[in-house]
Structure 1
């Protein structure tokens, strides 16, 4: 078992961080969802629509996988409040997907066996983000984040 512990500083919370000048505040979007299985699909639709609006169509498929995995984990915490799902653009061609919940239990990446029916989600998140994922603990919960980068323009 490996603790997903790429802890980041305060910019992981569902607010504009100190780099807000890079993109206008409108390029942070959040949605509040109940802890129910159907919230996974709602979060996926929300994030994918926002990426399409921003013209980041090349990130939509991977973002759908990431937000599905992160919200599924959040739903399974058993919290009774609401989870927050956010997406923001810290810089061009990078999006950060955030899922905040009321549990301080840290996500754990496990080595799922070939017959296991679950347990591969955080490994997929780690692979899709090239390790650019982590957790920020809050006084009454946590925010899990995952960063996706598109190739972007080629600099010469």
Structure 2
């Protein structure tokens, strides 16, 4: 497994080490990140590295876009408690990307005008997950999760 320090510094290899082999049963990945724009790239690398370790390169682009949108939304809340990014395999058919932040404000999908330069993030998450995303309120914030089908990556 790639050390978190390699992921955060950007030096993580974005493909499995051929000498180690792919371990589809390897554990989840979690990182606590600062509320900063730089955390978006760190989150993308964390998710991509884990998906490649699991042998799921077909999910990297969609999962990277999803985690980018969710972390960007979390950073915009202005909270300074803790921002947590995780990627899990709740089953062999699902990859779940999670982003937790310290804001109790729930994300809302909005209708954007054709010329709008922002506001499409959750609509993209909704489309990429085929509507399989949601929010869990927590005592001091929330966790947004987005599920991707492993079968879709293998087509």
Q: Find the residue that maps to 2:151 and give its secondary structure.
A: coil
Describe the SS at the equivalent of 1:114: coil
Q: Aligned-pair distance for 1:74?
A: 0.3
Q: Which residue of 2 aligns with 1:95?
A: 95
Partners of 2:49 and 2:31 in 1: CA distance: 12
1:101–1:128 Cα change, 3 Å: same
Count of matched residue positions in the alignment of Structure 1 and Structure 2: 131
1:138 has 2:138 as partner? yes
Ranked by relative contact order (alpha carbons within 8 Å, sequence separation 6 or more), the top structure is: 1
- Alignment correspondent of 1:46: 46
Structure 1 residues 7-86: aligned runs within 5 Å:
26-86=26-86
- TM-score, normalised relative to structure 2: 0.80
Q: Greater strand percent: which structure?
A: 1
Alpha-carbon distance change, 41 to 153 in structure 1, aligned in 2, over 3 angstroms: closer
Gaps of at least 5 residues in structure 1 are: 1-22
SS in 1 for 2:42: helix
Unaligned runs of 5+ in 2: 1-23
TM-superposed CA distance for 1:127, in Å, is: 0.4
Structure 1 moving runs of 4+ over 4 Å: none
RMSD value, Cα: 1.8
**Residues 130, 46 of structure 1: alpha-carbon distance in 2 compared, 3 angstrom cutoff:** same
